[in-house]
Amino acid sequence: MQLLLLLLLLLHLQIHTTHSAHIPEYKALLSAKSLIDDTQSALSSWNATTNHCTWRGVTCSDTTHHHVTSLDLSGLNLCGTLSPDLAHLRFLWDLTVASNQLSGPIPPQLSSLSALRYLNLSNNIFNGTFPTQLASLKNLQVLDLYNNNMTGELPLTVVEMPNLRHLHLGGNYFTGQIPTQYGQWQFIEYLAVSGNELNGTIPAEIGNLTTLRELYLGYFNAYEGGIPAEIGNLSELVRIDVANCGLTGEIPPEIGKLQKLHTLFLQVNALSGSLMVELGNLASLKSMDLSNNMLTGEIPSSFAQLKNMTLLNLFRNKLHGAIPDFIGDLPALEVLQLWDNNFTGSIPQGLGKNGRLKTLDLSSNNIASTILSSISKCQNLEVLNLSNNSLTGEIPENIGNCSSLFRFRVNDNKLTGPIPREIGNLENLDALDLGSNQISGNVPAEILGCRNLAYLDLHSNLITGNFPGKLRRLVLLQFVDFSDNLIEGTWPLHVLPRHIVFFSISRNNLSGEIPSLFCNLNLINYLDFSHNHFRMIPVCLGNMSNLINLDLRNNNLHGTIPKFVKCSNLRSLKLASNQLEGPLPRSLVNCKKLEILEFANNKINDTFPHWLVNLPKLQVLSLRSNNFHGSIGNHKTKFSFPNLRIIDLSHNMFHGHLPSNFFKYLTAMMNVNMDKGGLQYMGDGYYYDSVTICIKGNDINVEKIQTLLTIIDFSNNSFKGEIPKVIGKLGSLKGLNFSHNNLMGHIPISFGILTNLEWLDLSSNKLTGNIPVQLTDLTSLAILNLSKNHLVGLIPQGKQFNTFTNASYSENLGLCGFPMTKTCGNDEGQHPPLSSTIQEDDFEFANGFNWKVVLLGYGCGFMFGLSMGYLVFLSEKSKWLANSVYGKRHNKVRRSKKNARGRII
């Protein structure tokens, strides 16, 4: 016996002399401490005067030998590096330093810890490659490197650890392919390589790991091909997470063999094909997320067998057909998200009757039924989103039973009837979106019961009555949209809660004053009172420092435009179609972010605001129909509007020459290649602006202003002299209107290179000479008006010019040839009235604008005038909202990038 001990001792000495000199374990620990930056003195107990077995995190085998068997330093805020001297803890079987900020390489010396079973280095910033020497850790069962900064290829070393049960390499920067050798372990239960930068194919050999219970391959990796069918051999699998890693092809039906599977996560890939019938065999399945793929077909009837399923996410695919009724009978279902597919039919009536449903999102499909009435047992329902379907009928009263409801959206349907009073029972409601339906009646007083309401959208309905001033008591409100309803009367005495960020009451029948109390809402970004009958503009509006968009168009506002003092965030100021007088406030130069300025149809008396050159971002300037006068400048004036795309000075009293230097620096209008990289719209993801363009006496509403839309309208002034040739450089120009002025001279030949031009109006001037034959090169030109000038000679023939009628040329001195009926020399032409009915198709111009005819009924000029429309949110509202209202909350939940990369708890 003694001999044996001696032998062992010698053996030890021999081993350790091959390394450094043997040092006692307490010294090894102190050495480790010396490399650690122990910011919070977590290791203060590590003191040579005491027994190391009593130190924090240290566990020893027994009191006689004092061999350290376990070292657990997790979550102690330790910085620094891991000491190679830890290799002297020869009896260590558990080394855990997880969740610190330890960095540097993993010491290869750890290879001598031959007893080690458990090595957890996760959630640190260890870097470099995995040391090959660690292959000697033959007893290792758990290796967790999750969430570090490891690089290089996935280590092959780990294949030589025959006893591995649990291997987590996720959340690092490993590159290359998953080695086929990873199919060799005999006991492995948990394998994670998610959240790296892996590529190549997922090896079929994974299918040899028949003991595997959990498999994580997704997130940030980008594989080629799909899931190998061999995965069907992994009969012990409980969880598969291969989301967000570029998978293509079909889901292998072999997955249906996995009788123990609880969780199947394949979302955010490019999987195609239909939902396999075999998936219905997964009787143990609890969670299935196949969202964000390209799956087609219907929900198979075999899914009726998924009795334990709690979560079914199939959103953002291309599925169709009716949502089967049995979905409503699934007894365990808690989350059902089928949005953004093409499902038709009705909402399964049983949905919710299991009393467990928490999230139901069927939005953006083609469902045409009433809202389900089984909602009565919805006490657990938190999210109900049925928006963007074709639902009819009324909002059921028993919605009031859904006491947990947090988000209720049924916008963009065909719902009728009133807002049920029972809504007021929903104390937890955060978002109520009923917009774009045919909901009628008053806003019920009971809505005050929704004490947590932050988002209230009732736009585009038939809501009547006065504005519900009581809303001020919903102190958490941030977003309120009542636009496009039938709300009338004067503004209630009180205003709104302090946290309002967005407020629109546009397109109602309100009158009276806009109360100056609004100026106290100092978080507000977006304020829209347009299209009402308000009379007064509160002076203090110019002091609202967070305002981004102010829209007061189409009211009855009198007086002068207030001073803008604190407007550093203002991007869009729209005051068109009021009775505003006086000059433009020079203080607007304080609003450095201004992009859109719209003053059309007022009585503003001023000269051309050349001082606006100080607004570097200005894109749209409309001064149309005011009392602007004087010349816009001369050849010495410094103009610089590098971003200007739309300028409308029409219907004013400007006179003088058109200075070339005005047009010379319109850089944005010269940039012909702007359409490269797809269509872009003004508003840049934050919101989209719209514009109303007046053609043939009708306003055409362009719902999003493409940045491609570049227009100059100087019509109906008294400009004189020649048309500057430099205009030929404005290559992206779509519309040019100089009509009804006193311009003389020739039509510049340079106009022949304005190849994007879609309408050109030079009528009612004193232009002379021939029509340049170069204009036939304007193949986008849809509308041309040269009438009422002094032009002579043969009308150019061919190409686009074959499409114009003689109305384009009438009342000139001596134009002749097609399409005029007159032969040359006969100077009288006929001009049949232009058709006043417009088909949308008439304006399918070259770039396919989103035209929408809006007959506003007021004459906006005989030919192509321009007036600004109102701001439309379209589907982007949700995006805007997500950023402004929900952004903060979501951020709170969102884990850091690194933490999001891989581990599912």
Ligand X SMILES: *[C@@H]1O[C@H](CO)[C@@H](O)[C@H](O)[C@H]1NC(C)=O
Q: Taking the complex as a whole, how short is the minimal distance between the CB of residue 37 and ligand X, in angstroms?
A: 13
- Asked whether the beta carbons of 631 and 608 are under 8 A apart, the reply is yes
CB of 285 to ligand X, least distance (A): 8
Nearer to ligand X, 788 or 901 (CB): 901
Nearest residue to 550 (alpha-carbon basis) of 569, 533, 535, 532 = 569
Query: Among 181, 511, 627, 768, which residue interacts with ligand X (rule: CB under 6 A)?
Result: 627
Q: Which is nearer to ligand X, 173 or 665 (CB)?
A: 173
| Distance in angstroms (rounded) separating the CA atoms of residues 662 and 727 | 10
For position 294 contacting ligand X by CB under 6 A, the verdict is no
Cα gap 576→603, rounded to integer Å = 10
CB of 862 to ligand X, least distance (A): 23
- Using rule CB under 6 A, residue 284 touches ligand X: yes
Q: Which of 734, 705, 674 is nearest to 874 (CA)?
A: 705
Q: How far is the CB of 359 from ligand X (least distance, A)?
A: 20
Residue placing its CB nearer to ligand X in the complex, 127 or 660 = 127
For residue 110, the surrounding DSSP H or E stretch is none
Q: Which residues contact 642 (CB under 8 A, 6 or more apart)?
A: 616, 665, 666, 667, 668
**45 vs 520, beta carbon nearer ligand X:** 45
x/- map, 634-673, ligand X, by CB under 6 A: ----------------------------------------
Q: Considering the complex, what minimum distance in angstroms separates the CB of residue 297 from ligand X? A: 12
- Across the strands, what pairs with 691? 702
Minimum Å distance from CB 562 to ligand X? 18
Binding mask 220-239 for ligand X (x = CB under 6 A): ----------x---------
Helix (H, G, I), strand (E, B) or coil at 852: strand
Angle in degrees, CA 408, 489, 556, rounded to 5: 110
Q: Does 308 bind ligand X (CB under 6 A)?
A: yes
Choose the binding region for ligand X from 34-42, 196-204, 743-751, 846-854 (rule: CB under 6 A). Answer: 196-204
**Residue 45 makes contact with ligand X by CB under 6 A:** no
Q: Cα 259 to chain center, whole Å? A: 39
275 vs 594, beta carbon nearer ligand X? 275
Contact track, ligand X, 140-179, x by CB under 6 A:
---------x-----------------------x-xx---
**Interaction of residue 128 with ligand X, rule CB under 6 A:** yes
What distance separates the 2 farthest-apart alpha carbons in the chain?
Answer: 133
Q: Which is nearer to ligand X, 605 or 614 (CB)?
A: 605
Q: What are the phi and psi torsion angles at 256 (to 5°)?
A: -65, -10
Which residues, 6 or more positions from 814, have their beta carbon under 8 angstroms from its beta carbon?
791, 792, 793, 824, 825, 827
Question: Closest separation between CB of residue 801 and ligand X, Å?
Answer: 40
How many chain residues touch ligand X (CB under 6 A)? 27
Distance of CA 104 to the CA centre of its chain: 38
Specify the residue, 47 or 522, whose C-beta has the smaller distance to ligand X: 47
| Residue 585 engages ligand X in binding (rule: CB under 6 A) | no
The minimum distance between CB 192 and ligand X, in angstroms, equals 19
Order across the sheet with 851-854: list the strands.
851-854, 698-702, 691-695, 865-867
Q: Is 49 in the site for ligand X (CB under 6 A)?
A: yes
The gap from C-alpha 90 to its chain's centroid, in whole angstroms, comes to 55
| Cα angle for residues 901, 185, 283 (degrees, 5° grid) | 70
Q: Considering the rule CB under 6 A, would residue 199 count as an interface residue with ligand X?
A: yes
Shortest Cβ 887–ligand X spacing (Å) = 25
Residues 318-377 binding ligand X (CB under 6 A) are 320, 342, 344, 366
Residue 257 in the binding site for ligand X (CB under 6 A)? no
Name beta bridge partners: 319: 297
Question: Toward ligand X, which CB reaches closer, 221 or 710?
Answer: 221
Closest to ligand X by CB, 246 or 418: 246
Nearer to ligand X, 51 or 802 (CB): 51
SS (H, E, C) 121-154: CCCCEEEECCCHHHHHCCCCCEEECCCCEECCEC
HEC secondary structure over 753-802: HCCCCCEEECCCCEEEECCCHHHHHCCCCCEEECCCCEEEEECCCCHHHH
Instruction: Using the rule CB under 6 A, give the single segment among 204-212, 437-445, 522-530, 716-724 that binds ligand X.
Output: 204-212
Does 204 bind ligand X (CB under 6 A)? Our answer is: yes
Shorter beta-carbon distance to ligand X: residue 31 or 149 = 149
What amino acid occupies position 502? Answer: F
CA distances from 55 to 64, 120, 422, 569 (A): 16, 20, 62, 58
Interaction of residue 205 with ligand X, rule CB under 6 A: yes
Q: Which residues in 818-877 contact ligand X (CB under 6 A)?
A: none
In angstroms, what is the minimal distance from the CB of 332 to ligand X? 7
Residue with smaller CB distance to ligand X, 57 or 207: 207
84, 171, 195, 207: which one contacts ligand X (CB under 6 A)?
207
Kindly provide the residue ranges of all beta strands, DSSP E only, lying in 521-675, ordered along the sequence.
526-528, 533-536, 549-551, 572-574, 581-582, 596-598, 603-604, 620-622, 629-630, 646-648, 653-657
> Of 73-81, 202-210, 536-544, 808-816, which segment contacts ligand X by CB under 6 A?
202-210
Nearest distance, CB of residue 42 and ligand X, angstroms: 13
Which residue of 79, 98, 115, 125 would you call a contact of ligand X, by CB under 6 A?
125
Sign of the C-alpha dihedral computed for residues 873, 878, 882 and 885 taken in this order: positive
> Scanning the structure block, which residue is given the tokens 């480790």?
32
Distance CA 223, CA 207 (A): 17
* Of 199-207, 356-364, 832-840, 886-894: span binding ligand X (CB under 6 A): 199-207
Minimum gap (Å) between residue 660 Cβ and ligand X = 28
Which of 69, 605, 800, 883: binder of ligand X (CB under 6 A)?
Answer: 605
Site membership for ligand X, residue 274 (CB under 6 A): no
Strand 58-60 with 78-80, pairing: unpaired
- Through-space distance between the first and last CA atoms of the chain, rounded to whole angstroms: 50
Could you tell me the smallest distance in angstroms from the CB atom of residue 366 to ligand X?
5
- Is residue 272 part of the contact set for ligand X (CB under 6 A)? no
Q: Tokens representing 661?
A: 């230097």
**Which residues lie near ligand X (CB under 6 A)?**
47, 49, 103, 125, 127-128, 149, 173, 175-176, 183, 199-200, 204-205, 207-208, 230, 283-284, 308, 320, 342, 344, 366, 605, 627
